[in-house]
A and B are shown apart, each in its own frame.
Chain A
Amino acid sequence: MEVNDELVDKLAHLARLKFDETAKAEIKTDLQKMIQFVDKLNELDTTGVEPLLHMSDNVNILRADEMKGSISREEGLKNAAVHDEHFFKVPKVIKK
């Protein structure tokens, strides 16, 4: 798989990141190396091997349906960049 400008731009957009041209060149090289590494793993024949979907052996770590652990609105809003008494505030999503 070839890592080209188009792919880097697409990934940057999906991750909401922005880089200048120098950074983009470096990222292209790094990404190419990562993909080569994974391609190497792909050489292994995994026919009949179940895909690993989780790293730990733990299962069914569940909780009972109980209400606990909530914090107050005031505490919740405290660290927000912009907020009023009731809401988190973000730039207008829908422009009227």
Chain B
Amino acid sequence: MKTEDKYEVVIGLEVHTQLLTQSKLFCGDSAAFSTHPNTHISPITLAHPGTLPRMNSKAIEYAVKLGLAVHCDIEQHNYFARKNYFYPDLPKGYQVSQHTTPICKNGFVKIKVGETERNIRLNRIHIEEDAGKSLHDVDENYTSIDLNRAGVPLLEIVSEPDMHSSDEAFAYITELRKLVTWLGICDGNMEEGSMRCDANISIRLKGEPKLGTRVEVKNLNSIRNVKRAIDVEVLRLIGITESGEKIIQETRSYDADNNSTFSLRTKEDADDYRYFAEPDLTPFHITDEYLVEIKNSLPVLPEALKKHYTEELQLPEYDASVICEDKELADYFEELTSHCKNYKAAANWLLGPVKGHLNDSNSGFNSFSLPPAKLAALVQMVDDGKLSFGMASSKLFPALIAQPEKEPAALAAELNLVLETDSSSIEQWVDEAIAKMPDKAAEYKKGKKGLIGLFAGEVKKLSKGKADMQIVNELLNKKLNNS
């Protein structure tokens, strides 16, 4: 048994997601990212004396949306609290948060690792404001402060220590990211910091009921780095334990360049936040009617949609899950299948030629501009036997992307791609093919029936791929057997 196998890993994740509101949480400054420092600021953001914050109603809506999507209990009586600490990018000297009454409690996120599905329980989701940014490298003598981000609304999503491998943590973040982008409440961009993750990690001997001393690892700026950081930290913790030393509770940072973690602070100098109720903001209540309204406004969620695709549209599990990875792809598929009813063919087109084209041009689905109705026409033409799939995907599809204003049927005719279904011209090609290889025709008649493929290939060549192969095979059968 490997040393690592003696231990069970226990992971809890805290994920901060920036909400896609127009304005900040407590004032009307733009909440958008900007490369121009200190341009989204107001007296409230700057914490000038005498200013009063006012809550953005959209942030409540987004929090409730996510809460309902992950099966949470929604707190109907919400209060704000102050979390006190001094840091230069926190102008007020406190962060407004929901310490006592998180807007969402309990709930779970369903993950799948390999073939195993598990529910990762959530502890809470609460609303809070983001801090500004400290830049340490633009000025030799000072730390430079940009307060554009100060006050941008965040949801902090706190899981229970419910994950037992970096793969589960990876699946959890992937699922959360999918959900927040699906709901349109966060852009899910980890590299740019609109989704940030801290991991609480501990190890214990298998079978041990008590949790081990935990270490918090910060600065995980991609889903891949969450996995790498957990793997490297777990090995460090096992190393310490195996050498007979004790793990100390501390906060560490992940250095992606060296794939290692380093200590930021230990428990002795842990923060003392002195939370207390925020008097400047009134409480907010959520009514039953409001909850119903938000529930009704939720889009069909990926899990339910996937079920619909596999059970009602009979799509293979793989096709359904790929389409449900991305809201834009799913929306496109919905519109595509409102125009053509061959669901499997529509899925094949999206997962084949469309994905291939996007990969080649290195772009996301949001930059795919071919209207679903036109792609549907293409699918339909292949389905009706007017066009071979090969011709449609390799010739007509790229041509249509280059000239999206054209009608697929007209363009197919213009490019001379439409299948020849007129049996007299097909008959000519068939006769020509048989005449070219009399010896093979004789062998065929003696019983080498597999040779029909050779003749079919020849007809394909002669017709430049335009002959309807179904008719070709019928004719070949008839002629080779009767001549």
Q: Are B56 and A63 in contact (CB under 8 A)?
A: yes
Least CB separation from B138: chain A residue: A87
Q: Are B38 and A86 in contact (CB under 8 A)?
A: yes
Which single residue of chain B is at the shortest CB-CB distance from A54? B283
B206 within 8 A of A: no
**A17 CB → nearest B CB, Å:** 11
User: Which of B36, B55, B136, B146 is close to A61, meaning CB atoms less than 8 Å apart?
Assistant: B55
Q: Contacting A76 at CB < 8 Å: which of B28, B46, B86, B143?
A: B46
Does A59 contact B284, Cβ atoms closer than 8 Å? Answer: yes
User: Whole-angstrom distance between the alpha carbons of A70 and B22 in the complex?
Assistant: 13
Q: Which of A56, A59, A62 contacts B57 (CB 8 A)?
A: A62
Q: Is the CB of B58 within 8 A of A65?
A: yes
A93 interface hit (Cβ, 8 Å): yes
> Which residues in window 72-96 of A have CB below 8 A to B?
72-73, 76-77, 82, 84, 86-94, 96
Contact: B56 with A69, CB < 8 Å? no
The verdict on B60 contacting chain A, using a C-beta distance below 8 Å, is yes
In the complex, chain A residues whose CB is within 8 Å of the CB of B44: 69
Instruction: Give 6 closest A-B pairs by Cβ, nearest first.
Output: A65-B58, A87-B144, A89-B142, A68-B28, A88-B145, A62-B57
Q: List 23 A-B contacts (CB under 8 A).
A: A53-B100, A53-B277, A53-B283, A54-B79, A60-B284, A63-B28, A63-B57, A65-B23, A69-B29, A69-B42, A70-B39, A72-B39, A73-B41, A76-B38, A76-B41, A87-B37, A87-B38, A87-B144, A88-B38, A88-B144, A89-B142, A92-B141, A93-B88
Give every chain A residue within 8 A of B282 (Cβ-Cβ). Answer: 54, 56, 58-61
**Is B54 engaged at the interface, CB distance under 8 Å to the other chain?**
yes
* Contacts A54-B79, A94-B143 supplied; 17 other A-B pairs, CB < 8 Å: A14-B84, A53-B100, A53-B277, A54-B282, A62-B57, A66-B28, A67-B22, A67-B23, A69-B27, A69-B28, A70-B28, A76-B147, A84-B144, A86-B38, A87-B144, A88-B38, A92-B136
- Mark interface residues in B13-51 (1 if CB within 8 Å of A CB, else 0): 000000001110001111000001111111110100000
**Other-chain contact of A90, B46, B143, B277 (Cβ < 8 Å):** B143
Beta-carbon nearest neighbor of A10 in chain B: B272
Q: Given A59-B284, A87-B146, do A71 and B41 touch, yes or no (CB 8 Å)? A: yes
With A56-B282, A73-B39 as known contacts, state yes or no: A65 contacts B30, CB within 8 Å.
no
A38 beta carbon closer than 8 Å to chain B: no
Q: Tell me which of A55, A67, A84, A87 contacts B29 (CB under 8 A).
A: A67
The smallest beta-carbon distance between B284 and chain A, in angstroms, is: 5
Q: Give the contacting residue for A65; candidates B38, B57, B139, B274; CB below 8 A.
A: B57
Q: How many residues of B contact A (CB 8 A)?
A: 51
Is B285 part of the contact surface with A, judged by Cβ < 8 Å?
A: yes
B134 interface hit (Cβ, 8 Å): yes
**CB of A1 closer than 8 Å to a CB of B:** no
B-contact bits for A27-62, CB 8 A (1 contact / 0 none): 000000000000000000000000001111011111
Residue contact A89 to B143, C-beta cutoff 8 Å: yes
Residues of B within 8 A of A88 (CB): 38, 88, 144-145, 147
CB distance from B333 to the nearest CB of A (A): 30
* Number of A residues, CB within 8 Å of B: 36
A87, B42: Cβ atoms closer than 8 Å: no
Q: Does A64 contact B (CB under 8 A)?
A: yes
Q: Is the CB of B284 within 8 A of A71?
A: no
Is B279 an interface position by the 8 A CB rule? yes
Q: State whether the Cβ of B135 lies closer than 8 Å to any Cβ in chain A.
A: yes
Chain B residues, CB < 8 A from A65: 21-23, 56-59
**Contacts of A84 on B, CB cut-off 8 Å?**
139, 144
Minimum Cβ distance to chain B for residue A76 (Å):
5
- Partner of B145 from the list A55, A70, A90 (CB cut-off 8 Å) is A90
- Bound-state CA distance A70–B42 (Å) is 5
Interface presence of A18 (CB below 8 A): no
Q: How far is the CA of A3 from the CA of B84 in the complex (A)?
A: 22
Q: How far is the CB of A53 from chain B (nearest CB, A)?
A: 4
Whole-angstrom distance between the Cβ of A35 and the nearest chain B Cβ: 15
**A62/B284 in contact, CB under 8 A:** yes
Residue of B39, B55, B101, B135 near A63 (CB, 8 A) is B55
When chains A and B are docked, how far (Å) is the Cα of A15 from the Cα of B94? Answer: 12
* Residues of the A chain whose Cβ atoms lie less than 8 Å from the Cβ of B37: 73, 86-87
The complex places the Cα of A64 from the Cα of B23 at a distance, in Å, of 9
Contacts of A64 in B (CB 8 A): 57-58
- Shortest Cβ distance from B91 into A: residue: A88
The residues of A that contact B134 with a CB separation of less than 8 Å are: 93
Closest to B100 in A: A53
In the complex, A90 Cα to B39 Cα: how many Å? 18
Q: How far is the CA of A18 from the CA of B447 in the complex (A)?
A: 104
Which residues of chain B from 143 to 199 have a CB within 8 Å of any chain A CB? 143-147
List residues of chain A with CB within 8 A of the CB of B272: 14
Q: Which residue of B lies closest to A65 (CB)?
A: B58
B142–A77 CB distance below 8 A: no
In the complex, which residues of chain B have a beta carbon less than 8 angstroms from the beta carbon of A55?
Answer: 279
CA distance A53 to B43 in the complex (A): 26
User: Which chain B residue shows the least CB distance to A62?
Assistant: B57
Assess whether A91 is in contact with B28, with CB atoms less than 8 Å apart. no
Contact B284 A92 (CB under 8 A): no
Q: Give min CB distance, B268 to chain A, whole Å.
A: 13
Q: In whole angstroms, how far apart are the Cα atoms of A14 and B188 in the complex? A: 35
A86 to B34 Cα, complex, angstroms: 13
